[in-house]
Structure 1
């Protein structure tokens, strides 16, 4: 039995990880196979063999970025997998992760792919932005108590929470003004909690 498929698969994973690290540092939009191959110790011919073409590689890189995104979202849910922690606590945990310096490269890559998905909705970028919205809304929904989660009000609240997080993230990426943006997120959290307390219970 030939070991070539296994070797090729291992080499593909190795090069994908190297290409992903390179993309985190340099972005995806201007990616070109020849300079990328030189930067990661490969050749355009090998990349073409393993990934088909540039679009094939881009799809794999977007999928790889989503793996990191989903891992983060799972981490948000992990501390309380049996009890809903509430939307405010979920937003606070998500923001703490988003605002950490060590995640800045990944989030710049996310923002680049999100914007590209809106500008070029067909082809390799197809669905990236919409899928991201669905992923994040699902996590925020899981953090809501069932009575809130399954209501129209709950859907509006988590949509607003996502809008706050996404807007704050883009602001932070643009300005690096952590104190101002974090203060705004915490202000919105206080409004969430105040509004929830003000809603009359049946």
Structure 2
């Protein structure tokens, strides 16, 4: 049986998500978060069970944004260009910074609330990149290797862009 979140839980999760996009998750403390979103630590703990439960909910929320992006990208040979266009938009930097933080944390804290985030993200992106390949290439080892190279290139470019803000230079390198 799937339990649907209450309206209050959804409202607080969205507020906490907006907070996390601005402040990150690395030093998330419940008291400042609760004050910023008009709640209390007691309510957050009741709704999410623990700080780890809240972090898991925030990561699921971030992943929902990522999956929505990937669904909107579509299929075909222009997928990589459309992905980079979206990734390089300044308006998306907070989400991408949060994604990067969660990705890195899932590698160094694999048993915590971050568990599996990086792996799930890689799988999601490889699936989208498969849609850019011809049907006869998708199921081959060479197709997987090509998708992996493309993903590595996009991830590296994204890291560079987030570090430097130099979208023109990084986009030119991908061109």
TM value normalised by structure 2: 0.96
RMSD: 1.3
Structure 1 segments (4+ residues) deviating >2 Å:
none
How many Å apart are 1:162 and its aligned residue?
0.3
Larger helix proportion of the pair: 1
Q: Give the distance between the partners of 1:55 and 1:150, measured in 2 at CA.
A: 38
| Aligned partner of 1:157 among 128, 146, 154 | 146
Q: Deviations over 1:29-87 (max 9, x none)?
A: 1101111000000000111111111000000000000000000000111xx5xxxx12x
From 16, 30, 35, the equivalent of 1:19 is: 16
CA distance, structure 2, for counterparts of residue 163 and residue 72 of structure 1: 18
TM-score computed with the length of structure 1 as normaliser: 0.83
What residue ranges of structure 2 are gaps of 5+ in the alignment?
none
The residue that corresponds to 1:46 in the other structure is 43
Equivalent position to 2:56, from 51, 56, 59: 59
Aligned to 1:189: none
How many residues align? The count is 173
- Alpha-carbon distance in structure 1 between the residues aligned to 2:143 and 2:53: 38
Is it true that 1:135 corresponds to 2:124 in the alignment? yes
2:34 maps to which residue? 37
Instruction: Please state if 1:172 is matched with 2:169.
Output: no
Structure 1 distance, partners of 2:11, 2:146, is: 42
- Which residue pairs with 2:137 in the alignment? 148
Alignment partner of 2:67 out of 64, 70, 76: 70
Query: 5+ unaligned residues in a row in structure 1: which ranges?
Result: 187-202
**1:191 is matched with which residue?**
none
Any idea what SS the aligned residue of 2:113 has? Answer: helix
CA distance in 2: counterparts of 1:122 and 1:47, whole angstroms: 22
